Chain A
Amino acid sequence: VQKSKSRLKTPFVKVEDRSCHYRPFYLQFSSFPVLNYSAPKPYSPFDVDKKIASGQKQTQSKQRNKTNSDKDWRGPIQLPPKDKKKKGYCECCMKKYEDLQTHLESEQHRNFAQSTQYQVVDDIIAKFVYDFVDYRDDAQKMKRTKCSM
């Protein structure tokens, strides 16, 4: 097996399972986290982006082995709130979807939704005590004198 090696750039954190049976994972920092006592309350002492403290911007810019993207919370909003909730994964259909609503309307999902798979949920529901009063009946009885809050 030909090996290609690379040296991690300091500063970094590398984590390995001691069994050596798994892929190591690591993060190379542009600067190692520093406790920032001058970040105003209640901000995190690791909130380096809060320029409020002294106007200096210490953006933790480049991370080579990013495990998660950090752009979405450090930068300004990229997505209008509308895009929210659209992408995701359906556990029922075992499928990734781009648009929630479209997926929910798909034949596969509708079939699952109407299947007996939910019996396990219904079994629990069956044990609950139902003691709600129907607002319709109630309204008729009380002739709308009830004050709503």
Chain B
Amino acid sequence: MESSLKALQDEQPPLQAENFYRKHEKNSKLSEVKKDIEKLYEAVPQLVNVFKIKEKIGEGTFSSVYLATAQLQGGCEEKMALKHLIPTSHPLRIAAELQCLTIAGGHDNVMGVKYCFRKNDHVVIVMPYLEHESFLDILNSLSFEEVREYMFNLFKALRRIHHFGIVHRDVKPSNFLYNRRLKEYALVDFGLAQGTPDTKIELLRVVQSESQQESCSQYKPHLTLGNTVSVSIMASRQIAPQSASKTSHDKWCCSLSQMQIKQGKEGKVESFSPMLPREGSVHPSVQRSVFGERNFNIHSSTYQENTTVKLIKQSKVTDVASRKLATKKKIISTKAVNNGAARKSANNCPAILTCDCYATDRVCSVCLSRRQQVAPRAGTPGFRAPEVLTKCPAQTTAIDMWSAGIIFLSLLSGRYPFYKASDDLTALAQIMTIRGSRETIQAAKTFGKSILCTKEVPAQDLRILCERLRVTNSSYTKATSNVHINPLYEPALASDTDNKVEFSPQSRSTKIEHLKNNCDEGDNDLEITTREKATDLKGWDRVPDEAYDLLDKLLDLNPATRITANDALLHHFFKDIRQ
């Protein structure tokens, strides 16, 4: 392993190749990172004699991840990932994350845990380190077979966590580590995870969504300020031994909801549940992930992302959404109280008033005065399933399968991030643009949502969509550019990648056909270019229908019928893959 890692490093471009901005950015980061490492040693002194912390490899809203080496009893020095959780994390959340790692992790491409250090509020989770690629860097160099293996291994991980009743909530490339050379994979970061109603991770019941309770109580007027304590069995068991802890737990919930009202006034928070899980990053281009592609230690030679994008990504991390630790305790009344004018009417008259705005282009003071529906929405907008975007309270492991579908969509289309939306409804509109507005509206009905969309957009054929988006593959276009050049080609594009030539996307498929035919006919010149290409195409010239069939089933707008991880592994797309 060591030698292969070394080889990977040797492939990296020299520093001089980087433009000024990246270099500058990097230098200032380096000194910052040094300080961070010192601070970490200081905060958790037990680390000092055990780890040599080398660098920071990830940074997110709720944690930072460092690469370190440690000497093990067995005699070998090993690389470890140290995840330092933000000290504002509630112990129950920390414990739930640890429990996910200990119970579900360590098998089937799910990251495991080696050890955990704590000093006061500072908790450091030690995990085996997996050197991994940046998704964006390798996206357009993967062979089709690699994509198949990637998806297969992702489903293995998802089957594993779903078996334990874990809804990951933040499945995206940066949380699925991929070592291309070693063909190793690891699903990471249970910081946003929630439990299904029957989850086998006890502590996730504490951090569980209140969706079930919410749906039971949604027709009742909510007046009482949560005084019926219904902390889950697990929580009370864990907490009971300490005197006053139940009270503190109570207090925690109450003031959490108060705090959310405060936020509501400022119009910053959309939902007002004290039980919501914290939110992750708010934009798909932001890597909330802390052990993913925002790392600093892998610089691919194919790195092409422009500096602007890079910088924006970075700054976006500042937009820290409030964290809301879910608990099973009910506080409902306060939730009704939000949003300006709505507040008074809700207080005095909690009954739900009707109006005739439903399914029309109108809104009025009556419907706008109702309380907002509470539903978990932690995660990253571009990866959120339609039921998450529309605030469906009952969310299942199917939301992770949707996210896996979005990853697959990126792999097949060569676009990442695929969806680019700063808010949930823009993301929903983009989904409609791909999957059809009528279809989306229809599916939403099945989970209790009415969607009104003024624009009717047809569903796209997934194969045509992906092939058209993949069209600018430079390796393909380079060799064939002498044959077909898009007359509308923009010279400005050439600076983006050397020699890059764009085809008019409409005629792409016909061009492939044309090339194939020429090849079959034995046209000499073309045969050579085409044959060269055939190796370059890496299987992308013959993507089987099964791929798009599986994609269709993952991007099923109806969560009830969406394919499960278990069934995905049995899908024809994976026939003959070594299990």
A15 touches which of B319, B357, B390 (Cβ 8 Å): B390
Say yes or no: is B373 at the interface (Cβ < 8 Å to chain A). Answer: yes
Chain A: minimal CB distance from B336 (Å): 10
Inter-subunit contact A22/B69 (CB<8 Å): no
Say yes or no: is B561 at the interface (Cβ < 8 Å to chain A). Answer: no
Chain B residue contacts of A19, Cβ below 8 A: 218-219, 448
Chain A residue contacts of B314, Cβ below 8 A: 77, 81
Which residues in window 18-63 of A have CB below 8 A to B? 18-27, 29, 32-35, 37-47, 52-55, 60
Say yes or no: is A143 at the interface (Cβ < 8 Å to chain B). Answer: no
Inter-subunit contact B451/A15 (CB<8 Å): yes
Inter-subunit contact B370/A23 (CB<8 Å): yes
Secondary structure type dominating chain A contacts? loop
Say yes or no: is B315 at the interface (Cβ < 8 Å to chain A). Answer: yes
Chain B residue contacts of A83, Cβ below 8 A: 318
Inter-subunit contact B361/A18 (CB<8 Å): no
Q: How many residues in A have their beta carbons less than 8 Å from beta carbons of B?
A: 106
Query: Complex: how many Å from CA A43 to CA B140?
Result: 11
A22 touches which of B71, B371, B453 (Cβ 8 Å): B371
Chain A: minimal CB distance from B131 (Å): 13
Inter-subunit contact B91/A120 (CB<8 Å): yes
Inter-subunit contact B366/A3 (CB<8 Å): yes
Inter-subunit contact A6/B259 (CB<8 Å): no
Chain A residue contacts of B263, Cβ below 8 A: 96
Inter-subunit contact A21/B352 (CB<8 Å): yes
Inter-subunit contact A34/B433 (CB<8 Å): yes
Inter-subunit contact B426/A18 (CB<8 Å): no
Inter-subunit contact B452/A121 (CB<8 Å): no
Given contacts A77-B311, A91-B323, A118-B118, contact A37 B366 (CB under 8 A): no
Say yes or no: is B353 at the interface (Cβ < 8 Å to chain A). Answer: yes
Say yes or no: is B320 at the interface (Cβ < 8 Å to chain A). Answer: yes
Residue of A nearest to B450 (CB): A16
Given contacts A15-B428, A72-B319, contact A121 B116 (CB under 8 A): yes
Chain A residue contacts of B317, Cβ below 8 A: 84-85
Given contacts A90-B88, A118-B118, contact A13 B94 (CB under 8 A): no
Chain A residue contacts of B116, Cβ below 8 A: 121, 124-125, 128
Chain B: minimal CB distance from A99 (Å): 12
Inter-subunit contact A15/B363 (CB<8 Å): no
Inter-subunit contact B416/A42 (CB<8 Å): yes
Query: Complex: how many Å from CA A20 to CA B364?
Result: 13
Given contacts A135-B49, A135-B52, contact A94 B121 (CB under 8 A): no
Residue of B nearest to A89 (CB): B322
Inter-subunit contact B502/A38 (CB<8 Å): yes
Chain A residue contacts of B333, Cβ below 8 A: none
Chain A residue contacts of B414, Cβ below 8 A: 41-42
Inter-subunit contact B364/A124 (CB<8 Å): no
Query: Complex: how many Å from CA A104 to CA B88?
Result: 8
Say yes or no: is B469 at the interface (Cβ < 8 Å to chain A). Answer: yes
Query: Complex: how many Å from CA A91 to CA B249?
Result: 11
Inter-subunit contact A5/B71 (CB<8 Å): no
Contact with A along B438-478 (1 / 0, CB 8 A): 00000011001111111101001000010011111100000
Q: Which of B177-185, B490-498, B551-559 lies on the face that meets chain A?
A: B490-498
Say yes or no: is B70 at the interface (Cβ < 8 Å to chain A). Answer: yes
Which residues in window 72-107 of A have CB below 8 A to B? 72-74, 76-79, 81, 83-97, 100, 103-104
Chain B: minimal CB distance from A84 (Å): 5
Inter-subunit contact A14/B318 (CB<8 Å): no
Chain B: minimal CB distance from A87 (Å): 6
Residue of B nearest to A71 (CB): B422
B451 touches which of A11, A14, A89, A92 (Cβ 8 Å): A14
Which residues in window 364-378 of B have CB below 8 A to A? 364-373
Inter-subunit contact A46/B203 (CB<8 Å): no
Inter-subunit contact B50/A37 (CB<8 Å): no
Inter-subunit contact B94/A8 (CB<8 Å): no
Contact with B along A119-134 (1 / 0, CB 8 A): 1111111011111111
Query: Which residues of B are at the interface with A, using a C-beta cutoff of 8 A?
Result: 2, 28, 32, 49-52, 61, 69-74, 77, 86-95, 98-99, 102, 113-118, 120-121, 123, 136, 139-140, 203, 218-219, 238-239, 241-242, 245, 248, 251-252, 255-256, 259, 262-263, 270, 278, 282-283, 285-286, 308, 311-312, 314-320, 322-325, 339, 342, 345, 352-355, 357-359, 361-373, 390-391, 413-426, 428-430, 432-434, 444-445, 448-455, 457, 460, 465, 468-473, 490, 492-493, 496, 500, 502, 505
Q: 8 closest A-B pairs (Cβ-Cβ)?
A: A113-B121, A70-B422, A27-B425, A91-B90, A22-B373, A90-B88, A44-B420, A89-B322
Besides A89-B320, A123-B238, 19 other A-B contacts (C-beta < 8 A) = A6-B363, A16-B449, A18-B450, A20-B352, A23-B372, A35-B460, A40-B493, A42-B416, A45-B469, A47-B420, A55-B490, A73-B316, A81-B318, A88-B322, A92-B88, A100-B86, A119-B91, A132-B50, A149-B77
Q: List 13 A-B contacts (CB under 8 A).
A: A13-B432, A17-B449, A18-B450, A22-B371, A23-B370, A37-B471, A43-B415, A73-B286, A79-B318, A88-B322, A92-B88, A123-B238, A133-B50
